[in-house]
Amino acid sequence: MPTPVISLSSARSLHLAAQGLLTPIKRKARPNDVVTAIQRMGLLQIDTISVVARSPYLVLFSRLGDYQPEWLEQALAARKLFEYWAHEACFIPIEDFALLRHRMLDPQGMGWKYSQQWAQKHQPAIDALLQHIEVQGPVRSADFNAEKKGANGWWDWKPEKRHLESLFTAGKLMVAERRNFHRVYDLTERLLPEWDDAVDALPRATAQQEMLSRSCQYLGIFKAEWLADYYRLKRVAPKKLLEQLLLQGEILPIDIEGLSGEFYVHQSLAAELALAVQGKLKSTATCLLSPFDPVVWDRRRALELFNFDYRLECYTPKEKRKFGYFTLPLLHRGELIGRIDAKMHRKQGIFEIISFHLEPQAKLNKQRCQDVWQAITRTAKWHGARQISLGDVPAQLAIEWGEGWLVD
């Protein structure tokens, strides 16, 4: 059977289909859609920056449209999700607890996230904290007073916060819920009383192979070099796994016009692939993406697949930023056509477009302008804005949109 050949546009659409971004949702979102969306992506990365909605909420909005952010916390509290280090800190479907458990059982391999030296030095205090939680119930970091406030990250955390984070990384504590987005920690054995490491935990090698296999599905279309990044795996070789998946029919080889290398499509996209081969698979979604969306979190992949060179600049000194503090990639009908630096002024009810930079190859026409206007309006309305204000935007849009508009 000859290897199917598809266009670059179709390849992008296959990836977006896998990620739940091919077409806008056609009905009103429901609470269970939050868990379904995360299961489809595999992971929902957590970040606390809040100039607009925090990243996990924004990733879900891109896929679900108008939904209630509290549904995410409700799913966590109901044990449909758990938190752990995957790509980075992530919300993960609870059925994948076994997939990450080996990292908890060997936390020394987690780098800065766990210090064996700290654990040994403060063992009596850590044991006392565990006993406190066992007797008194769940705790937050805020329940403990800080002796001093520093500005150097981990090393200036109050001891109890660092103890909690160490116990979390070691899997002795889990996040039971979030209150105002702050973690509430409880004993893992209390939250998952049926769990048995001896029976349920996957060996490291087995778990890593499963992560690579899952990454094939979450990416939808991929090359071998893209797989390890999804779960931040190190020193893994997917070649043998891909040979096995090919024999099993789990993946299919594909050629992409304009791209070199060996590409594959996951079998879950068989129907979409048939349309792609005929040139009939089209993306119709326009939305603002989070900087931590799986579509763009791998800079190399985003550049190769979408010709979009994206870097988050919030950690870059202001004078060295090119595009802005927290720029949101703009997805339009299968292309990443620009980035928008936005800020939600919550007290004033204003959604501010600080700057809007189009990609060099992106051209504006009537349809594209209308789609982008609607996407910005939907996003602002979901944020609770009554007004949209415009700063530095392309001249054509400044003429058409003026200084902004009211949100109905």
Q: What is the pLDDT of residue 276?
A: 97
Return the ∠ at Cα 295 (arms to 106 and 387), rounded to 5°.
120
Q: What is the pLDDT of residue 153?
A: 43
Rounded CA gap, 251 and 239, in Å? Answer: 13
Q: CA separation (Å) from 61 to 196, 294, 324, 326, 377? A: 36, 14, 22, 17, 13
Confirm if 186 and 83 have CB atoms less than 8 A apart.
no
Confirm if 407 and 380 have CB atoms less than 8 A apart.
yes
Rounded CA gap, 230 and 300, in Å? Answer: 12
Contacts 24+ apart (CB under 8 A), 312-320: 314/49
Confirm if 91 and 43 have CB atoms less than 8 A apart.
yes
Return the ∠ at Cα 394 (arms to 391 and 395), rounded to 5°.
100
Q: CA separation (Å) from 43 to 11, 54, 177, 351? A: 22, 15, 17, 28
Rounded CA gap, 203 and 332, in Å? Answer: 42
Residue 255, SS3 per DSSP: strand
pTM of the model: 0.94
Confirm if 38 and 76 have CB atoms less than 8 A apart.
no
Confirm if 294 and 218 have CB atoms less than 8 A apart.
yes
Domains, the chain, with CATH or none: 1-114+170-282 (no CATH), 311-406 (3.40.630)
User: Which strands, in side-by-side order, build the sheet including 251-256?
Assistant: 5-6, 251-256, 263-266, 221-223
Confirm if 169 and 104 have CB atoms less than 8 A apart.
yes
Per-residue pLDDT of the chain (408 residues; tens, 9 = 90+): 689 999 999 999 999 999 999 999 999 999 999 999 999 999 999 999 999 999 999 999 999 999 999 999 999 999 999 999 999 999 999 999 999 999 999 999 888 899 889 999 999 999 999 999 999 999 999 898 765 554 444 445 588 999 999 999 999 999 999 999 999 999 999 999 999 999 999 999 999 999 999 999 999 999 999 999 999 999 999 999 999 999 999 999 999 999 999 999 999 999 999 999 999 999 999 999 999 999 999 999 999 999 999 999 999 999 999 999 999 999 999 999 999 999 999 999 999 999 999 999 999 999 999 999 999 999 999 999 999 999 999 999 999 999 999 998
Return the ∠ at Cα 195 (arms to 144 and 185), rounded to 5°.
10
Rounded CA gap, 305 and 256, in Å? Answer: 10
Q: How many residues does the chain have?
A: 408
Nearest CA to 306 out of 372, 246, 362 is that of 362
